[in-house]
Every structure is written in structure tokens, then in C-alpha cells.
Amino acid sequence: MDHRKPPILPTTSSSPPPSPRRIPVLGAVAAAANKLTRRPLRAALVGTIALLVLLYNAHAISTLRRDVGYILRPLWDTPEPAFNVIKHFPRAGDDNDEQWCGAHGWATRRGGKPVVVDAVPVSTELDMLEIRWREYAPFVDILLVVESNMTFAGTPKPLHFAAHRARFERIAHDAGAKLVYRAVTDFEPNLPSGSFKNEACQRQAISDLIAAERGSGAIPPGALIIQSDVDEIVSRDTLQLLTMCSGFPSQLHLQVDNYLYSYDQPLNDGGYWRPRVVTVPAGGEGVDYHHGRGSDDLLAAAGWHCSFCFPTLQDMRAKMTGYSHNDRLTSARLLDERRLRRRVCEGRDPFGMWAEAFTFRDVIAHSGPTRRRNAFLHVPVALKEEPERFSYLLDKGCERPNK
């Protein structure tokens, strides 16, 4: 028997081999039309996403550019040369004038109290100006104030002091002081962010006002002129010391402690040196009003600097957008009410910035939220006299209104 398998033969079919799938002509036209219909929608969606990414990156890049300069400041910047710090001693109850002045290396003043002049630029800080002048009331003789109808950024604003002048005339009257006011109306409009041109113009107007008062004889040689911004307040004890003693430098810087939004939010940065008191020289030598360094001498613990101590969040926003450092404002989101209030309550910088420090250790140590203070023994006199009225500067800062 033959057990061989039959050969496997190739199969054949009468059907033709399968051909590739063919799309009917009408179907191809419909698909193309569908693509054309969806293309504008897709393009709009892609464009919207790209715009959002671009806007976010623009903010991020602007913030990064700003922050890199502050974080790396120890590599490219150096601090002010060291000051000759004059220790500040309190006056004991049984101290006489000679002992108190002598403790500072000075002599007792002869010939009576000198004329004291407060020369100050003002924008919107009316409460702070009142607190300042009430602090100075026992010693000040002339109050010079200059404001403008524009912000330092060159945007129009009301003449706030002029509108409330009667309030300050009463303070001047109670202090027995002469009030001299000047409005500046020649600021340049719409300056680039970070420009100090209008600020310099206002300070020059104060210099001119001082010169005019000297020319009239109201400010004699030997007078003391306080030169500081409105939120840089010299303490009453310091003014008593300076009017009682003589022999200190003709340009004496005054170290003031820094606070952020209220006097329970001190900054741990060693204080601020720019305020100063200038003794008017004899003769025709001018007295320039500026915010820079005038000498190497610094009296310690001489007052307070409260940079965003405003009664409302709207006042804070006005400063953020209108002052010379408005280049720190990298996004309109920084002005949002909820965000700004949160930063006020937490004691964080309104711009979300790193500290201006000159070692990496200080950059880290001085950044972040403030540590709240629960004692208000060393605050301006007005806050002691009216704690409820000025509660937003004490322990109620988180509750201040938006407007």
C-alpha cells in the first residue's frame, strides 16, 4: 500500500486579489471640507494657549530678571561704607542736661533752643504726616511741605494735602509752628518705570523752599533742618537730645528701625540710615535737600521708618504703582485685593521680593515674613494717645479696609 501523502498543491481562486481601500471622490471632498471647517477653531485655540503662555512667561521672565539681581547682589554690589555709630543713651530721671549730652560726647547747648525745621515731601500719606508732626510738636518751629499734582511715575493725582490743609493748620497752630506749603505742577507725565526724575524735581522744590525761608530770615544760621521722607519719623526723645546739646556733626544721619505695614511688623535688617538732621551754616552756603549720604556719622535708635503703613489697601496700591521704585511691580496680579491682603496679614513683601542684602546669609535671613511684635512701648506719641484710631498701625493691620 502506498502511504505517501499527496503533494500539496497551491490553491487557486477565481476571485481577483484584494485591492487597496478606495475612498469615494465625494468622501474625500467631505473630509477636506471638514478639515477646513475645524482649522480656524483649532488655530484660535492654539493661539489662545500660546498667548496665555506668552503672558505668563513675560511675567515670569520679568520677575526672574528682577529677583536675580537681588539674590545675586552679594556678587555685584557692596554695602555703604561703615558709619561712625554714635550710641544713643536714654535720659535718666535725675540726669541734668550736661550729663545727658556728655554721655554722647557732646556739650550742653548755650543760647537757647535752636529753630527746628521739618522739611518733607508728601503724596498721599496724610495720617503718617499727622503722626509725624504730633511727634515733633514740642520742638518744631517751621513746617515745610511740598506735594505735586502727579505721582513720581507721572500719573495725575489730587493735591491731597491742599484738600485737607485745615487739618494740618490746627496741628501747626497747637505746636506754635509756621506752616509753609508749595505745590509742584511741572512733573513730567508718564515716565518709564523706575525713573527718579520727578522725585528729584520734588526734592529740588524743597531745597528752593528752604532757600526762600533762609532768605527771609525765618531760618537762621544754627537752625536744625530735619530731612527725611514722611514715613521716616524722628522720635521725640531724639529731638529733645538734639535741641538740648551741641557739638554733633553738622550733617548727622539718624538710624531708624524699619517696619513693613504696621508697628507690630518690624524688619530684621538693622535699620535705615537715610534720615538726617542738618545744621544750617553761617554765610551763604546752600542747604540741599536730598536722600543720599551726607556724612559718616549715624545716631543709633533715633526713630521709625514704616514703609507701607497706610490706612487702606488702595493707598498701598497707589504707592506700588506711583513711586519711583514702581519697576518692582512686575504684574498687575500683585495689586489684587485678596493677594495683597494676604501678604499684609502674613507680613510678606508686597512685591514678593527678596531682601536687599549684601551677604547670601542676610538675603535668606531678611526675606520671608516678619515676626510680629506684641509690645507697643516704643511707638510714636500719636499712637499712644489714640490707639483705637490708629489701630491699623498696631495690632489691627490685617483688618484695614480696601478703600
Helices (H), 72-94: 73-76
State the angle between helix axes of 126-136 and 236-244 in degrees (0 to 180), rounded to the nearest 10.
Answer: 40
Residue 97's H or E segment, with its range, is: helix 97-103
- List for the chain the helix, strand, coil content (%; round to 5): 40, 15, 45
Separation between Cα atoms, residue 90 and residue 88, nearest integer Å:
7
Cell 491742599 -> residue: 162
Is the pLDDT at 323 greater than 60? The verdict is yes
What local confidence, expressed as pLDDT, does residue 21 receive?
46
Average pLDDT over residues 365-383: 94
Separation between Cα atoms, residue 28 and residue 33, nearest integer Å:
9
State the angle between helix axes of 126-136 and 165-175 in degrees (0 to 180), rounded to the nearest 10.
Answer: 10
What local confidence, expressed as pLDDT, does residue 62 receive?
66
- Across 183-217, b (16+ Cβ under 10 Å) vs e yields ebeebeeebeeebeebbebbbebbbebbbebbeee
- What are the angstrom distances between the C-alpha of 32 and each of 20, 27, 37, 40, 401? 20, 9, 9, 14, 60
Helices (H), 195-336: 197-215, 236-244, 313-322
Evaluate if pTM is beyond 0.95.
no
What local confidence, expressed as pLDDT, does residue 81 receive?
95
What local confidence, expressed as pLDDT, does residue 69 receive?
84
Kindly report, residue by residue over 36-47, the tens digit of the pLDDT: 455 666 666 656
Kindly report, residue by residue over 189-214, the tens digit of the pLDDT: 999 888 999 999 999 999 999 999 99
- Hey, what domains does the chain have and what are their CATH numbers? 84-310 (3.90.550)
- What are the cell numbers at 137? 510738636
Separation between Cα atoms, residue 50 and residue 46, nearest integer Å:
6
Specify the pairing of strand 116-121 against strand 232-234.
Answer: unpaired
- What are the angstrom distances between the C-alpha of 345 and each of 304, 342, 351, 353, 383? 20, 5, 14, 16, 20
Separation between Cα atoms, residue 21 and residue 19, nearest integer Å:
6
- The per-residue pLDDT of the chain, averaged, comes to 88
Eight-state DSSP code of residue 283: T
Question: How many CB atoms sit inside 10 A of residue 368's CB?
Answer: 14
Kindly report, residue by residue over 34-80, the tens digit of the pLDDT: 554 556 666 666 566 655 554 445 556 667 777 888 889 999 999 99
Is the pLDDT at 284 greater than 50? The verdict is yes
What local confidence, expressed as pLDDT, does residue 22 receive?
45
Is the pLDDT at 392 greater than 50? The verdict is yes
Separation between Cα atoms, residue 97 and residue 286, nearest integer Å:
31
Is the pLDDT at 301 greater than 70? The verdict is yes
What local confidence, expressed as pLDDT, does residue 326 receive?
85
